[in-house]
Amino acid sequence: MSYFKTAILLAGMTALFMGVGYLMGGASGAMIALVVAAGMNMFAYWNSDRAVLSMHGAQPVDARNAPDLYRMVGELAQNAGLPMPKIYIMDNPQPNAFATGRNPENAAVAVTTGLMQQLSREELAGVVAHELAHIKHHDTLLMTITATIAGAISMIAQFGMFFGGNRNNNGPGMIGQIALMILAPLAAMLVQMAISRTREYAADEMGARICGQPMWLASALAKIDNAAHQIPNEDAERAPATAHMFIINPLSGRAMDNLFTTHPATQNRIAALQQLAGQMGAQSQVPTRSTPQATGPWNGGQSRPRGPWG
């Protein structure tokens, strides 16, 4: 995604934030929102990655406490022509992952314990390669900033419902406040969707090329999508504005979470990967193996034969 498109989308999120401020407090509310948005953009640029990692309870790991995962990430990063990212693990039973960071030199890849337990080594490599593709495309800064601002828009809309806005200064009143509480997060979601749809397909393609096997990622997507509908991710439910950062939408769809369904259909992503596999001459069937061996390469056990990335 180009820097011009990034600037346009960030400007749109800022304008939306100002619009919410205007509806709640008139011209003065819009100015306050502009100042707050500027501060948030500055904060998000430097700190949003750490904030998102903290929201999901991600803990850093290195070559000492996760040697095989660390080695896999390092080999795939080298294959992608990227510096070694920081690695985080989230103690969460739902298999999922995301990448964050303002640039490739300050990037991080976070995976859940569920991902490491339920995926084979090859599938895990496909997921990691997908996240490295986001880093290489410079998606991660935009993803974390939009998550921060979208969350703030939802929060300020809910505050408006409780505090009633500025009714004496062309404020929206009670009916307007209810509409604001619903429509403001919806508008933020539309901006997130504009980012997510194309970036996921692009990251799928580059990730498949990084690991060399599109069907590893296709198999992983099928497993993660199936598990996401069965295993709740409570951290994501508490911070739905971060849902677009994950490789598969982590939300169960309860309450207002459906507003943040920003990912393309998984079957369409798998179909695109199957087509890519045909172009690359790779195996075009999703692997039938459903679970990894008990001692996977991510927990210090005996490693399987290493894939073409190493």
The residue type found at 127 is V
Which one, of 111, 108, 121, lies nearest residue 211 by Cα? 121
Question: Where in the sequence numbering do the catalytic residues fall?
Answer: 131
Q: Tokens for 178?
A: 């209810």
Q: How far apart are CA 177 and CA 202, in angstroms?
A: 38
